[in-house]
């Protein structure tokens, strides 16, 4: 944090991903139960160290969630991942969990994905069972973002804030400012009929502060014509 001039979000790997390192055959004098306990202890230490050093948010990367559905369509593997990650999250207070989030995506290894063919409908209902307050959901590369956004609207709990991705790292083409603006407004439009999520949705415009100035200007210009006008101007305009 020595050189940062803006809030920093630090990513860490999930316990569920690391749990896969234990072999199918038991390790002599080191049971799986011991391994999981050590894993949870180290994960807790890692997150607490990040928070202590000043991380604004700590993001737990849970990219294997969607892949779990592909490997095991019954959902048992996904549920076991959710349970393990919740064991880790339960070690933190409600106040601490406000600074902890979970990221999900279909993978982005060597410009490819491992589970983009899995419908978000198979993952998102379980994802929001995690005891986290912030969710960073890859959305730009989805073929039907509206479908995914409606699922988020249905299953997101009142204390959970969602940030939707507006750039696709696996696509070599750079999104235009207009495209980024439209994706943000699409998310706002999806929530427009739900008064209980308006503030949270509008607050998520704070994530637009990381966008190029051109995209932020376009977003503000469009926001003046949408239902979130006053709040959008306050949140975005003051930062331009």
pLDDT in tens, 94-130: 999 999 999 999 987 766 788 888 999 999 999 999 9
Let me know how long the chain is: 240
pLDDT at 3: 84
Rounded to a whole number of angstroms, the CA Rg of the chain reads 19
- Label residue 169 by pLDDT band (50, 70, 90): confident
Q: How far apart are CA 222 and CA 209, in angstroms?
A: 16
Closest to 159 (Cα-Cα) out of 197, 208, 121, 206: 197
Q: What is the largest CA-CA distance in the chain?
A: 65
Q: What is the extent of the structural domain holding 88?
A: 1-171
DSSP code of 13? E
Q: Is 164 helix (H, G, I), strand (E, B) or coil?
A: strand
Same domain, 81 and 179: no
Mean pLDDT over the full length of the chain: 82
As a whole number, mean pLDDT of residues 124-139 equals 95
Same domain, 44 and 145: yes
The percent of residues above 90 in pLDDT, for the chain, comes to 56
Instruction: Kindly report the CATH number assigned to the domain that includes residue 5.
Output: 3.20.20.210
Q: How far apart are CA 188 and CA 228, in angstroms?
A: 8
**Residues 132 and 159 sit within 8 Å (Cβ to Cβ):** no
Write out the two tokens for 141: 């590369």
Same domain, 160 and 186: no
Residue, of 198 and 26, whose pLDDT is higher: 26
The region of weakest confidence among 55-64, 156-165, 225-234 is: 225-234
Evaluate if residue 235 carries a pLDDT over 80. no
pLDDT at 217: 56
Residue, of 186 and 97, whose pLDDT is higher: 97
**Rounded to two decimals, what is the model's pTM?**
0.79
Same domain, 189 and 110: no
As a whole number, mean pLDDT of residues 183-188 equals 86
pLDDT at 82: 98
pLDDT at 221: 56
Same domain, 7 and 113: yes
Same domain, 102 and 188: no
Write out the two tokens for 30: 């080191």
Burial of 127 (0-12, 13-18, 19+ CB in 10 A): buried
- Label residue 205 by pLDDT band (50, 70, 90): very low
As a whole number, mean pLDDT of residues 52-74 equals 95
In our burial notation (b when 16+ CB lie closer than 10 A, e otherwise), range 58-92 reads bbbbbbbbbbbbbeeeeeebbeebbebbebbbeeb
Strand ranges for the chain from DSSP E: 9-13, 57-61, 100-104, 134-137, 161-164
Evaluate if residue 190 carries a pLDDT over 60. yes
The region of weakest confidence among 17-26, 95-104, 222-231 is: 222-231
Same domain, 69 and 103: yes
pLDDT at 2: 78
């Amino acid at each position: 944090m020595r050189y940062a001039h803006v809030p920093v979000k630090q990513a860490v790997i999930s316990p569920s991903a690391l749990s896969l390192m234990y072999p199918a055959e038991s390790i002599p004098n080191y049971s799986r139960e011991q391994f999981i306990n050590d894993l949870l202890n180290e994960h807790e230490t890692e997150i607490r160290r990040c928070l202590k050093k000043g991380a604004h948010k700590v993001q737990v990367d849970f990219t294997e969630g969607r892949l779990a559905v592909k490997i095991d369509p019954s959902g048992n593997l996904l549920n076991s991942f959710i349970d393990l990650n919740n064991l880790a999250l339960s070690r933190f207070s409600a106040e601490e969990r406000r600074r902890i989030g979970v990221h999900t995506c279909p993978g982005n290894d060597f410009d490819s994905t491992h589970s983009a063919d899995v419908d978000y409908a198979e993952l998102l209902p379980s994802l929001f069972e995690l005891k986290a307050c912030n969710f960073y959901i890859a959305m730009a590369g989805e073929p039907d973002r509206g479908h995914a956004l409606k699922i988020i609207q249905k299953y997101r709990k009142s204390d959970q804030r969602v940030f939707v991705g507006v750039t696709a790292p696996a696509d070599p083409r750079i999104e235009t400012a207009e495209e980024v603006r439209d994706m943000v407004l699409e998310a706002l439009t999806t929530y427009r009929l739900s008064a209980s999520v308006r503030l949270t949705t509008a607050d998520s415009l704070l994530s637009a502060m990381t966008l190029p100035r051109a995209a932020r200007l376009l977003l503000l210009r469009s926001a003046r014509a949408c239902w979130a006008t006053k709040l959008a101007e306050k949140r975005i305009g003051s930062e331009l």
